[in-house]
A and B are shown apart, each in its own frame.
Chain A
């Protein structure tokens, strides 16, 4: 299985701050990388698919980039509703695997 190393595991941040979350795959995944947000109530929604495509309805302050083994999710200016868990998911090779998650916390 492809291992996804997601960093940091937690990140204290302030409103308006720019933050970046990273995922490194154990082998190249050809941009087959998605990002999800999980809110404190448990609901999960997609943010970014295929590395850099913004899901419909997701604010433009979210962006994704990367190639090869290294990928990142950036939030340009944190809003109150952005404090949540974030996960990357690779689907280059079955089984799909997820990163361990990043908890974005209010500083």
Chain B
């Protein structure tokens, strides 16, 4: 059974700091890994998707890496801003119980607060 862990549950940093959010998963047989952002009372916004054959993806100030063999991913946020304050969720897609389908397994998320 796939399990995804994100530690710590919350993080507070001053504006301008570079930071790393960690995600670990127990089963390395994944199809892809997706990082989401959730603002309070809002839905999930996809930030980056890394396919299982890839090592990293970049979008603006965000860089996500994937080490499938060790079951780890990191989301690097450069020069953090107050607008980056949100909950960041990591999710992996892997084969479902019947073998023919797949689903996302989520971590609990990391609530980030960037102080002005």
- Same complex origin of A and B: no
Taking Cβ atoms with an 8 Å cutoff, the residues of B that contact A are: none
**Chain A contact residues, CB within 8 Å of chain B:** none
